[in-house]
Structures are given as structure tokens and as C-alpha cells.
């Protein structure tokens, strides 16, 4: 599988922490990383192209086409105790499992060998199928010490289940390569774009690594999305009421399991 890394800049960074937010359920992780890129602001580090992406291009508002991008950005910290950052996001995740693993390893090798990254945080969604006004952040980590750190900073520790797609694979490969880090998952219904869950992730990041950004724009998007979510919830409840007698519904166990991505 061919993967090309097109470098835009080669900055001097001090063991940057890598934060990944790729498209997944309700775009929770991607919205969070995109907001960091905009508000820090972060600079374009590199683009990655591979032949394992879906066979399609995007049509822009001016009628031109663009490829599915994987992008790395960087930010140099000026505050004591706050790390430099490398931010990774994409237009889509690869179309095959093989491509997910190859791309994940390529990205990790690039940031760990060229920039000496030793820590990683992946951001994603913890899908419950229900709606929350105050989304929780669920966490898993590469070692018990980090699990305790996440718990002491308000995260709910995950003790079972799985993290699907590259948001999980990246952290798993990072651990094999000797890196440490977390997976942080924002609680969401999974039915629609959920900026509120993304905001919860950014607030957790502030506690864990000290990176703080203005959340005004994200909060406005959350308000706009709320009416959509309320409509979806109303339809879901109506469908439950109208379910034909004898038709199976969700069991309590199924509701608790959720879906993590």
C-alpha cells in the first residue's frame, strides 16, 4: 500500500503530544480537533495520501474537486507545563481494515521518529443511543497510572467494551511502540452531529494537559444542533410508543452496552 507524506513545514518541537480526532460517530473527535486547529491556532505540518481511502473526491463550493485528506498540524506552546502539540485529523477514515492499520503505523512512526513524540491522546465518541445535557467523558489509557490520572480529572473509566476504527487502533499501536496516552470518548446519542460532546472532550483536555481554547463558537454550534437532537429524540420516543405488540425492543443490557467509536 502506497502512502505519501507531503511535508509543509519542518518545525522544531519539543517531544510534542499528539492529539488525534478522526471522523466517527457524530463527528465528536473530529470536531474537537478541528476546533483546536482553528483556535490555537495550529500550523499545517503535513498531508498524507494513500490508496486505501474510499474511491471518491469532494466537490467544493466553487465547483472544483479535492482529494480525501489526512492532515497533521502543529502548535508550539509558550506556557510552562503545557506541551507542544501535533494534531491529526482527516476527511474520512480508510475504506479497509488493512489500510487503517498501515496508516496508523505510518503516522505513529512519523511523529515518534521525526519529532520524538512520546505521548498520544485519541478523541472519539461513546455512543449510548440516549441524550445527555451534560455529556460525560469516558477514558481508557495505556497504563494504570494514566487511568488513575484520567479518573482524578473527572473522566469515567471504561472497564469493558472496545474502541473501533483508527481512534482505537492508533492508541493500540502507540502502546506497542512505547508511547503512552489516553483514549477520551465523549458521551453522545450518535444520531446527529454533537458539538456538545466535543466541548466535553476539550474541557477534559484542559484539565489533563493544560491546553485551553475559546469554546464560544463550539458552544454556538451545540445550541444549533440541540434542536435537531430534540427532534430526533421525539421521533425515537414516538416509534417506541407505536411499536407493534410483540415486536422485540431494546433490552436493558443492550441499552447499557452502547457502541464506542
Angle formed at CA 190 by CA 189 and CA 192, multiple of 5 degrees = 105
Which whole number is the average pLDDT over 206-216?
95
Residue of higher predicted confidence among 258 and 45: 45
> Three-class SS of residue 92?
coil
Q: Considering the domain 18-241 in this protein, what is its CATH number?
A: 3.40.50.10900
Q: Give CA–CA dist 93/212, Å, rounded.
A: 27
Share of the chain above pLDDT 90, in %: 69
Which whole number is the average pLDDT over 175-183?
96
The phi and psi torsions of 194 (rounded to 5 degrees) equal -130, 80
- Cell numbers at 185, concatenated: 470518548
- What pLDDT sits at residue 180? 97
Output the pTM of the full model: 0.86
Task: Please report which confidence band the pLDDT of residue 245 belongs to, taking 50, 70 and 90 as the band edges.
Answer: low
Amino acid at each position: 500500500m502506497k502512502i505519501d507524506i507531503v511535508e509543509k513545514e519542518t518545525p522544531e518541537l519539543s517531544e510534542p503530544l499528539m492529539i488525534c480526532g478522526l471522523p466517527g460517530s457524530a463527528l465528536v473527535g473530529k470536531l474537537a480537533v478541528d476546533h483546536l486547529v482553528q483556535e490555537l491556532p495550529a500550523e499545517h505540518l503535513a498531508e498524507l495520501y494513500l490508496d486505501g481511502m474510499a474511491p471518491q473526491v469532494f466537490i467544493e463550493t466553487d465547483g472544483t474537486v479535492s482529494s480525501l485528506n489526512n492532515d497533521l498540524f502543529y502548535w508550539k506552546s509558550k506556557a510552562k507545563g503545557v506541551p507542544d502539540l501535533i494534531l491529526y485529523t482527516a476527511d474520512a477514515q480508510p475504506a479497509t481494515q488493512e489500510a487503517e492499520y498501515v496508516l496508523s503505523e505510518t503516522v505513529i512512526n512519523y511523529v515518534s521518529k521525526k519529532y520524538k513524540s512520546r505521548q498520544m491522546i485519541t478523541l472519539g465518541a461513546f455512543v449510548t443511543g440516549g441524550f445527555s445535557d451534560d455529556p460525560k467523558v469516558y477514558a481508557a489509557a495505556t497504563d494504570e497510572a494514566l487511568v488513575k490520572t484520567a479518573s482524578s480529572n473527572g473522566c469515567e473509566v471504561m472497564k469493558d467494551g472496545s474502541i473501533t476504527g483508527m481512534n482505537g487502533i492508533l492508541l493500540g499501536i502507540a502502546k506497542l511502540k512505547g508511547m503512552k496516552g489516553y483514549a477520551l470518548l465523549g458521551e453522545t446519542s450518535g444520531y446527529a452531529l454533537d458539538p456538545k460532546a466535543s466541548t466535553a472532550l476539550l474541557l477534559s483536555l484542559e484539565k489533563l494537559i493544560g491546553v485551553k481554547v475559546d469554546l464560544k463558537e463550539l458552544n454556538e454550534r451545540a445550541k444549533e444542533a440541540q434542536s435537531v437532537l430534540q427532534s430526533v429524540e421525539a421521533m425515537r420516543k414516538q416509534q417506541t410508543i407505536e411499536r407493534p405488540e410483540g415486536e422485540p425492543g431494546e433490552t436493558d443490557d443492550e441499552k447499557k452496552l452502547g457502541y464506542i467509536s
